[in-house]
């Protein structure tokens, strides 16, 4: 996940890339007296506006923006001791540094500075990068299907097909699904018919300068849209666009169809181009969703810089402990605000191939270091009772694990009896008879043409030059679009979000306050879980994954599934099913 680019990955390749991703991704922030910094400040529950503002001023800060829905503010300060001074104020519960990482230029992408990437998702691209002329999935579906439907094994797995849920419920335009991600390409031909540009928002900014005045990612004019404040219909990463089309790509004679092909898609961008998701944009996106009548949100990421936020782990400094506590508390307020207003919260479970209910180690946090050359440190013996990944382990959030084409839990997917709520197809390129890599076992979904061009993945005639990019045109050949194969719990979560959107479409009542439809999130969750197909643990429950990489290396790992058929650590309450969810 970024998308989970932010979620750490597994396997020898994944662990290697994750180790690099943990290193600082930009020039360090100057924390000396006089250098301006930004903090996210969480006010004490019940504190008055006047007291909160006075407390910020007393600590040496100036409020840049406020989120009065949940008592959070972005604060600028030149006080190097701001965090400590703020902790002494009764109206302030906690603080967290507010960071911006644009992207790392190629000439800086060394072992010490590398663009944050999700190796699980990138695994779909490693061996196929030189497959010029390879054109998987150019059609083959029946006439009543979309051109690439026969390659959507994921939709077949959950009953979202022309003979399945599409026959009875395609979703309602009145149902709004928010994609909290890296952005959504609202101009993509397989997204545009369902995209709501008016409601969409961008809550983050890619700033090209660090605190010392040096370029982080070159000047703004070097951005694809010549701006570091992107419009709300832009995705310069590709992750959010993939997620959005899985949820709601329309049935329009091009490419694919999503789980809920008639719902409205709303871009709630909180992720930077670099793939980092920090606290303030996430809080703002969630509260906006609650205020504006968004029915479902998909969150395929974790809130940076901590994969696990621990209240009192001894390896962390008091300042780091305080920051992690603030992230957990501020996000929970925002999640509660949204859920209490009818927003069903769906999140990817993550790609570390770990049992989140067991004692863990974390070698990826913090994933942004303030001191040049300082990398993440290993935190051993993390207690699952006091260390949580946000938002997937936050209260009220539906956590989704990933399945492969055979319905086995994907090799990279996190798991845990009591952690996983439901499972959904997210792809597993090694879920093959020979345990070798096959990208068609990943998930195919929309890809911005601008990124395919920038990355050299299509030629001057618009034809794909790599096997993981697919082109599809309408029957007249006048309108064409691009798609890419990705895998990850980032890809599983939107399948569950799409089913949740179908549930609201089917059973929701008119929202007389904000328009559209309304169904309490608790009811949506109940129907989603009850309609999921019970899937038992493997036999034996200690399942060994074998992967033979394109380089010829053999990698094995054993994951143990705990629980019964109706609920277990691999599948939760089962694999989501669109047809069953609408009562068919």
- pLDDT tens column, 38-88: 999 999 999 999 999 999 999 999 999 999 999 999 999 999 999 999 999
Name the band, by pLDDT with cuts 50, 70 and 90, for residue 1. low
Pair type for strands 61-67 and 509-510: unpaired
Q: Is 447 exposed, middle or buried (0-12, 13-18, 19+ CB in 10 A)?
A: buried
Question: What is the pTM (predicted TM-score) of this model?
Answer: 0.90
Residue 27 predicted with pLDDT over 80? no
Other beta carbons within 10 Å of 400: 33
**What pLDDT, on a 0 to 100 scale, did the predictor assign at position 515?**
86
Name the band, by pLDDT with cuts 50, 70 and 90, for residue 375. low
CA distance 235 to 153: 26
How far apart, in Å, are the Cα atoms of 252 and each of 132, 140, 146, 177, 258? Answer: 28, 16, 7, 19, 11
Structural tokens at position 177: 């699904």
Average pLDDT over residues 110-118: 40
Average pLDDT of the chain is 86
What contacts 236, CB < 8 A, 6 or more positions away?
182, 183, 223, 224, 225, 230, 273, 448, 450, 451
Query: Which strands form 397-403's sheet, in the order they lie side by side?
Result: 201-202, 264-269, 176-180, 296-299, 344-348, 397-403, 422-425
**What pLDDT, on a 0 to 100 scale, did the predictor assign at position 276?**
85
Residue 296 predicted with pLDDT over 90? yes
**What pLDDT, on a 0 to 100 scale, did the predictor assign at position 101?**
55
How far apart, in Å, are the Cα atoms of 309 and each of 213, 312, 392? Answer: 31, 9, 12
The 8-class DSSP code of residue 220 comes to G
**What pLDDT, on a 0 to 100 scale, did the predictor assign at position 104?**
38
Residue 500 predicted with pLDDT over 70? yes
Question: Given its phi and psi angles, is residue 583 left (phi above 0), alpha (psi -120 to 50 degrees) or beta?
Answer: left
Q: Residue 5 pairs with which residues in a beta bridge?
A: 2
Residue 8 predicted with pLDDT over 50? no
Residue 465 predicted with pLDDT over 70? yes
Pair type for strands 37-43 and 72-77: antiparallel
**What pLDDT, on a 0 to 100 scale, did the predictor assign at position 223?**
58
Structural tokens at position 263: 């719902």
Residue 291 predicted with pLDDT over 50? yes
Phi, psi angles (nearest 5°) of residue 289: -60, -40
Q: Which of 30, 31, 6 is nearest to 17 (CA)?
A: 6
CA distance 572 to 529: 9
| Helix H or strand E segment including 282 | helix 279-292
Position with higher pLDDT, 459 vs 24: 459
The answer to which of 275-279, 493-497, 518-522, 545-549 has the lowest mean pLDDT is 275-279
Q: Is 239 exposed, middle or buried (0-12, 13-18, 19+ CB in 10 A)?
A: buried
pLDDT per residue over 511-546, tens digit each?
988 889 999 999 999 999 999 999 999 999 999 999
Name the band, by pLDDT with cuts 50, 70 and 90, for residue 484. very high
- Percent of the chain scored above 90 by pLDDT? 74
Q: Between vectors from CA 183 to CA 179 and to CA 188, what angle results, nearest 5°?
A: 95
* CATH fold of the domain at 138-352+389-579: Rossmann fold (3.40.50)
Average pLDDT over residues 158-175: 97
Q: Which of 351, 359, 368, 413 is nearest to 386 (CA)?
A: 359
């Amino acid at each position: 996940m970024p998308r989970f680019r932010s979620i750490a990955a597994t396997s020898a390749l994944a662990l290697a890339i994750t180790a690099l991703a943990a290193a600082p991704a930009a020039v360090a922030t100057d924390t000396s007296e006089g250098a301006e910094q930004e903090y996210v400040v969480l006010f004490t529950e019940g504190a008055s506006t006047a007291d909160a503002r006075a407390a910020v001023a007393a600590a040496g800060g100036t409020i840049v923006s406020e989120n009065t829905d949940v008592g959070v503010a972005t604060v600028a300060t030149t006080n190097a001791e701001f965090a400590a001074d703020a902790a002494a104020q009764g109206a302030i519960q906690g603080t967290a540094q507010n960071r911006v990482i644009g992207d790392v230029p190629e000439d800086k992408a060394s072992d010490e500075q590398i663009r944050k990437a999700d190796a699980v998702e990138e695994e779909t691209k490693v061996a196929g990068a030189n497959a010029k002329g390879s054109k998987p999935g150019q059609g083959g579906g029946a006439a009543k299907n979309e051109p690439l439907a026969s390659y959507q094994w994921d939709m077949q797995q959950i009953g979202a097909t022309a003979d399945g849920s599409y026959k009875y419920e395609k979703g309602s335009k009145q149902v709004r699904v928010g994609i909290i991600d890296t952005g959504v390409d609202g101009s993509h031909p397989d997204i545009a018919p369902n995209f709501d540009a008016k409601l969409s928002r961008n809550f983050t900014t890619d700033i090209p300068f660090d605190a010392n005045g040096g370029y982080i990612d070159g000047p703004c004019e070097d951005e694809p849209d010549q701006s570091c404040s992107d419009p709300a219909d832009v995705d310069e990463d590709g992750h959010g666009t993939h997620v959005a089309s899985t949820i709601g790509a329309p049935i329009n004679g091009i490419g694919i169809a999503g789980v809920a092909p008639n719902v409205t898609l709303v871009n709630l961008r909180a992720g930077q181009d670099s793939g980092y998701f920090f606290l303030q944009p996430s809080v703002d996106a969630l509260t906006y969703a609650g205020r504006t009548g968004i029915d479902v949100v998909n969150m395929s990421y974790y809130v940076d810089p901590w994969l696990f936020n621990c209240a009192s782990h001894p390896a962390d400094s008091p300042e780091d402990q305080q920051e992690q506590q603030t992230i957990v508390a501020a996000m929970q307020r925002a999640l509660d605000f949204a859920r209490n207003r009818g927003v069903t919260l769906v999140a990817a479970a993550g790609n570390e191939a770990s049992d989140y209910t067991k004692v863990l180690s974390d070698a990826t946090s913090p994933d942004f270091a303030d001191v040049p050359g300082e990398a993440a440190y290993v935190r051993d013996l993390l207690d699952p009772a006091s260390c949580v990944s946000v938002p997937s382990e936050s209260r009220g959030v539906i956590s989704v694990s990933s399945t492969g084409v055979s319905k086995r839990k994907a090799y990279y997917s996190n798991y845990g009896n009591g952690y996983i709520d439901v499972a959904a197809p997210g792809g597993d390129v090694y879920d093959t008879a020979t345990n070798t890599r096959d990208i068609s076992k990943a998930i195919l979904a929309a890809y911005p043409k601008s990124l395919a061009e920038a990355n050299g993945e299509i030629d001057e005639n618009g034809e794909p030059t790599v096997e993981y990019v697919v082109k599809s045109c309408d029957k007249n050949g006048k309108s064409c679009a691009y798609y890419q194969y990705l895998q990850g719990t980032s890809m599983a979560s939107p399948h569950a979000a799409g089913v949740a959107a179908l549930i609201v479409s089917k059973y929701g009542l008119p929202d007389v306050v904000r328009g559209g439809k309304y169904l309490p999130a608790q009811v949506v969750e109940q129907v989603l879980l009850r309609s999921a197909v019970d899937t038992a643990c493997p036999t034996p429950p200690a399942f060994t994954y074998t992967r033979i990489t394109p380089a010829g290396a053999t990698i094995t790992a054993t994951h143990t599934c705990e629980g019964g058929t109706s609920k277990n650590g691999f599948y939760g309450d089962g694999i989501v099913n669109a047809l069953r969810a609408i009562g068919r």
